[in-house]
Amino acid sequence: MNQQAALVRVIEAAKAQLEDIRSGIEANLYDPKENDIIGLEAAITLIELEAGTGAVSPAIVLVTTKDGILNTAHDGQVTIEVIDFDTAAGLDTRLLPEAYRELVTTVFDDPHHHGIRYQGENTKLELVYCDAASCQVSECVVVAGAISNDQLALIAGKLQQGGLLIAQQVGLPTPSLQLQGTSGWPSEIDHVFTCLEAFESGAPQLSAILTLDEPTHDITIHELVARFSAVSAWDVDAEWNRLKSLV
């Protein structure tokens, strides 16, 4: 089957599904809140456009289903990815090939719609330290792997108000060490906490923290989240003693 014929088949199947959904909603068999007619119409329009120009090589079609599971089907040059947005299926649920980003953005206006993430994405964390005299230093860390919404929520729940943590206790660098050897550091104006900037007001959006930048540290996002999960309380005394021992 050539590319054009495969696209036509996908369009026909999508239109049949659309009509089934419409009739089901009219008959009160389907909940309109759980069946995205507008999204499916937009996807069909996009596929028809690409079928007319022959611009897709290979063609990629994103199909969402209420009760499906994550799987992939191939039909000629067409790849159909079926994603269940409602059922968790492991840490890599909704982890799509990078080639899907443009299509998801076009259809949903958000590349990370419903928690979708992409292969090759990593997690960028901006660590900021500010002492009582408003002297500020920071360090950017890129961790291997794409963080999920559930993982964002877990980390946010472990931080103190304002996104504060003791970075060393979860294996992250301590930006205040950049002040070592200056102004009597650590002094009465210093403290042990680092701010995870993206978490100052709670869990951030995925788009604010995911990146295609290469990892900068030898730790994966799953390892980092496991360390956060193990934290019951931040040990202020232990960290203060550690900082003073470095002088």
Q: What is the pLDDT of residue 105?
A: 82
Residue type (1 letter), 84: D
30-55 pLDDT, tens digit per residue, is: 888 777 777 777 777 766 766 664 44
Residue 99 has pLDDT above 90, yes or no: no
Query: Is there a contact between 55 and 70 (Cβ–Cβ < 8 Å)?
Result: no
Region 228-234: mean pLDDT is 97
- The full set of domain ranges for the chain reads 3-118, 122-245
More confident residue, 141 or 14: 141
Residue 106 has pLDDT above 60, yes or no: yes
Distance of CA 246 to the CA centre of its chain: 36
**Looking up tokens 């990078």, which residue turns up?**
98
The average confidence (pLDDT) of the chain is 82
Alpha helices in the chain (DSSP H): 3-26, 37-53, 101-108, 149-158, 221-229, 236-245
d(CA 186, CA 130): 12
d(CA 184, CA 124): 31
Residue type (1 letter), 142: V
Residue 58 has pLDDT above 80, yes or no: no
β-bridge partners, 95? 117
d(CA 84, CA 82): 7
Q: Is 69 exposed, middle or buried (0-12, 13-18, 19+ CB in 10 A)?
A: exposed
The token duo for 79 is: 């790849």
Neighbours of 66 (CB within 10 A): 14
Of the ranges 32-36, 55-59, 243-247, the best mean pLDDT one: 243-247
Residue 64 has pLDDT above 80, yes or no: no
Q: What is the pLDDT of residue 83?
A: 57
The confidence band for 121, taking pLDDT boundaries of 50, 70 and 90, is very high
Query: Is there a contact between 107 and 47 (Cβ–Cβ < 8 Å)?
Result: no
Q: What is the pLDDT of residue 30?
A: 83
**Looking up tokens 């604010």, which residue turns up?**
208
d(CA 127, CA 186): 18
Region 66-86: mean pLDDT is 51
147-202 pLDDT, tens digit per residue, is: 999 999 999 999 999 999 999 999 999 999 999 988 788 999 999 999 999 999 99
Q: What is the pLDDT of residue 175?
A: 97
Q: What is the pLDDT of residue 82?
A: 56
More confident residue, 145 or 58: 145
- Give the closest residue to 176 by CA, choosing from 79, 226, 116, 243: 243
Residue 134 has pLDDT above 50, yes or no: yes
Neighbours of 23 (CB within 10 A): 11
More confident residue, 139 or 101: 139
What is the DSSP annotation of 189-216? T--S-EEEGGGTTSSPPGGGTEE-SPP-
Element containing residue 239 per DSSP (H, E) = helix 236-245
The confidence band for 104, taking pLDDT boundaries of 50, 70 and 90, is confident
Of the ranges 88-97, 139-148, 177-186, the best mean pLDDT one: 139-148
Q: What is the pLDDT of residue 55?
A: 45
d(CA 114, CA 38): 16
Region 7-26: mean pLDDT is 80
Q: What is the pLDDT of residue 72?
A: 53
